[in-house]
Structure formats: C-alpha cells, structure tokens
C-alpha cells in the first residue's frame, strides 16, 4: 500500500473531526470529534514512522504520548462539561457564552 493512501485516510478522518467540532453544538459530540482528530494524527504518525523510520520507528512513540494526553483531555473536558451542566442544564455550547467580552 502506498503511503499516500494512509495519509488520505488520515486527512479524511481529520477533516471529519474538524467539521464535527465546527458544526455540532453538543459539547459531548465536539469532544468526540476532537478524539477523531487526535486519532487521525496517530494514524499519520504510524504511517510515516513505518515508511521513514530509520532507527526503530521512533514516530510510533508519539502515539503513546497522544493516547495519554487524549485520555487526560477527555477526563478534564468531561468534568468541565459536567460542571457547566450543573450550572445551567444544557450541553449546547452556543448557549454557554458567559465569557463574552
């Protein structure tokens, strides 16, 4: 399989994620879309690592880091959403505009 195919899938997943973040209003769905973007990145890392890796596919190591960061991000993100929901019973991000300047 050519590298381009992996990158194409990765790019597609990434922009689906971007579209999800931009279009959807439900905070939980936005968080899921972010996960999609992160995993698109992981795919790109693994693909490049396999093709270009010289000394033992070092690029794959970043994938492990991204898993950890993604887990932390989800934990914090869900906690924020929960706190916001308790404050005002909605998960619609367009209605959460207290920080308006």
Partner 1 sequence: MSVDVVGLVWLVPGIPLAAAIVNGLFGRRWLHRTTGVIASVALGLSAALGLAIFFAVLASGGQPRVVTLYEWIGVGDFRVDTAALVDPLSATMVAVVAGISFLIHIFSIGYMEHDRGIHRFFTWLPLFVFFMLTLVLADNYLLMFVGWEGVGLCSYLLIGFWFEKPAPYTAANKAFWMNRIGDWGFTIGTILTFLTFGSLNFHEVFDKVAGVAQTQPLTITFIALAFFLGATGKSAQLPLYSWLPDAMEGPTPVSALIHAATMVTAGVYLVARSTPIFADAGSALVVVGIVGAVTALFAATIALVQVDIKRVLAYSTVSQLGYMFLACGVGAPIAAIFHLATHAFFKALLFLGSGSVIHATEEQDMRRMGGLRRKMPITYWTFLLAGGALAAIPPLAGFWSKDEIVGAAFTSGHQILWSVGIGTGLLTAFYTTRMIYLTFHGEPRDHHLYDHAHESPPVMTVPLMLLAAGAVLAGLVLGFPPDAGFIHRFLAGVVSAEAGQQPEAPNYVLIAVLAAVAVVAALIGIGIGYAMYARRRPDPAAVSRAAGPIYTLLVNKYFVDELYDHRIIDGGRALFGAAWAFDAHIIDGIVDRLAWLTALIGSGLRRVQTGVVGNYALSIAAGLLVLIVVYGGYATGMLHR
- Per CB under 8 A, residues contacting partner 1 are 3-4, 7, 18, 21-22, 25, 27, 30, 52, 93-94, 96-101
Q: How far apart are CA 84 and CA 96, in angstroms?
A: 8
Nearer to partner 1, 74 or 96 (CB): 96
Closest approach of partner 1 to the CB of residue 94, in Å = 5
Q: How many residues does this entry show for the chain?
A: 101
Nearer to partner 1, 68 or 99 (CB): 99
Nearer to partner 1, 13 or 27 (CB): 27
Q: How far apart are CA 31 and CA 72, in angstroms?
A: 12
Nearer to partner 1, 4 or 83 (CB): 4
> Residue 88 in 3-state DSSP?
coil
Closest approach of partner 1 to the CB of residue 39, in Å = 17
Q: What does the DSSP assignment read for 57-79?
A: -THHHHHHHHHHHHHHHHHHHHH
Closest approach of partner 1 to the CB of residue 77, in Å = 11
Q: Whose CA is closest to 42, among 2, 70, 72? A: 70
């Amino acid at each position: 399989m050519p590298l381009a195919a992996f990158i194409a899938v990765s790019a597609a997943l990434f922009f689906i994620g971007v579209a999800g973040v931009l279009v959807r209003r439900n905070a939980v769905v936005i968080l899921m879309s972010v996960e999609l973007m992160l995993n698109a990145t992981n795919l790109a890392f693994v693909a490049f690592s396999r093709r270009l890796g010289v000394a033992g596919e070092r690029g794959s190591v970043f994938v492990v880091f991204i898993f950890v960061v993604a887990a932390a991000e989800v934990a914090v993100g869900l906690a924020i959403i929960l706190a916001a929901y308790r404050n005002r019973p909605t998960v619609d991000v367009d209605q959460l505009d207290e920080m308006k300047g």
